[in-house]
A and B are shown apart, each in its own frame.
Chain A
């Protein structure tokens, strides 16, 4: 009989609480990645309408130039900026940069890898994404 491994499961993996902002960024990275992939597929489908002439392109354009379309695009801008900014931080970290230096552990054992630099970068990524979304809103709705 296969033993129940008592895995925390998707609920535990996707729960961004309990472990601070680093776990939130892990969660956001996943969600934004999936969202961007969905958008990429949609975007390629949408732009391919150009092959069917001006009228089809114009009607597709009309379909996306709605309030919902603009809101979706604004979300995409935010996801894209966060995924990029956080991705760059992660690439550095994965190479061993900015994760602190090994030291002799001492009580209360604050881990060096969970340092202020990384936390600030995560907050900055969220902040820049929010700014980009505001800019996007102004361009999209300000026409």
Chain B
């Protein structure tokens, strides 16, 4: 993939995440007190509210892509070499996929009541 496409994704995911994370944080502090919003029942209710669950999934994907691409950028700037850069790229992609899969599992199972 051309670097410009990757970096456009980097900027796009950043913009998307800013909006959604703001909503995510507002959910914690506007609906009820911060402490109460973290109570088990309330969190479960959040997950079961489908639009919120979809938003969590989106945040997960956006931030994982943005974060691991950022890490890739830092790492390829630190050291160079064909095999090293390949390892960094695929390593970051794999880490990204694992994090998304792990987080999605939580979101999916909780929202479907499999807790």
Direct contact of A and B (CB under 8 A): yes
Taking CB atoms, residues of chain A closer than 8 Å to B67 are 33, 36-37, 40
Interface residues of B in 70-115 (CB under 8 A from A): 70-71, 74, 78, 99, 102-103, 105-106, 109-110, 114-115
- Report the separation of the CA atoms of residues A140 and B106 in the bound assembly, to the nearest whole angstrom: 25
Q: Could you tell me which B residues sit within 8 Å of A by CB distance? A: 11, 14-15, 18, 21, 29, 33-35, 38, 40, 43-44, 47, 60, 63-64, 67-68, 70-71, 74, 78, 99, 102-103, 105-106, 109-110, 114-115
> Do the beta carbons of A91 and B115 come within 8 Å of each other?
no
A-B contact count (CB 8 A): 63
Shortest Cβ distance from residue B109 to the other chain A in the assembled complex, whole angstroms: 6
Taking CB atoms, residues of chain A closer than 8 Å to B29 are 139
Residues of chain A at interface, number, CB under 8 A: 28
22 contacts between A and B (CB under 8 A): A10-B78, A30-B74, A33-B67, A33-B74, A37-B71, A40-B63, A40-B64, A40-B67, A44-B103, A44-B106, A48-B105, A50-B43, A50-B115, A51-B106, A58-B40, A61-B38, A87-B14, A87-B18, A139-B29, A143-B33, A143-B34, A143-B35
> Do the beta carbons of A51 and B38 come within 8 Å of each other?
no
Shortest Cβ distance from residue B20 to the other chain A in the assembled complex, whole angstroms: 12
B interface, over-half SS: helix
Which of A41, A91, A94 neighbours the largest number of chain B CB atoms within 10 Å of its CB?
A41
